[in-house]
Amino acid sequence: MKLYHSPNSPYVRKVMVVLHETGQLPEVELIPSSLGPFDSGLPLHDKNPLGKIPALERPDGPTLFDSRVICAWLDDRAGGRLYPSGPGRWEVLTLEALADGILDAALLITYEGRLRREEIRSPEWCDAQWVRIKRACAALESRWMSHLSGPLTMGQIAVGCALGYLDFRHDARGWREGCPDLAAWFATFESRPSMIETRPPPA
């Protein structure tokens, strides 16, 4: 298998954590593919027409893309431990979607600050995205701590990668404020070997 990969991508990090946790990393070749929103993604067009990473090339089927699809496929291949069966599956999928929503908003802030010309940047736009992130963190604090503290699931991995990205790119905004339980959980979760091994390089 080949994973089109960038160490700075939080969506790629989700896949890498799953590879570590399920013991499948030795079976995957990492293909460097650092892409931004203005890149054409030409090397990836025949793998993922959207030109985005992560994308997982398989020897026995079409290339998979979108981190949620890849993570679910890898977990199924490893025996289905991270996405439980039964009603609990929907909680895991919802938690993963909430974490990915945090990432979506955080990336919009990143792109606004790093890629748009200074004279057309919108602080109000960035603040609006941060409101969404803080609302999501508050929901994690009030609704999801029992799940986060349970056996490892894909929801936990997704939240861990999302919070890690907030530290990586937006630490000064202080997501931990008002979320002491979530902050304590993350302090423990980010010490997992899979999280340590997949930390992005210094910004």
List, in order of start, the domains of the chain with CATH numbers.
2-77 (3.40.30.10), 88-197 (1.20.1050.10)
Sequence-ordered alpha helix ranges (H) in 78-175: 88-114, 123-143, 145-148, 154-170
Over the stretch 66-122, which tens digit does the pLDDT of each residue have?
A: 999 999 999 999 999 999 988 899 999 999 999 999 999 999 999 888 777 788 889
Distance CA 91, CA 76 (A): 17
Burial of 187 (C-beta count, 10 Å sphere; 0-12/13-18/19+): exposed
Give the side-chain half-sphere CA count within 13 A for 162.
28
- The type of residue at 97 is A
What is the value of pTM for the model shown?
A: 0.93
CA distances from 107 to 28, 98, 179, 186 (A): 26, 14, 21, 20
Of residues 52 and 20, more confidently modeled: 20
Query: Cα(22)–Cα(28) distance, rounded to whole angstroms?
Result: 12
What DSSP designation does 32 have?
Answer: E
What average pLDDT does the chain have? 93
Would you state the structure tokens that stand for residue 41, as one six-digit string? 């993604």
Q: What are 125-134's pLDDT values in tens digits?
A: 999 999 999 9
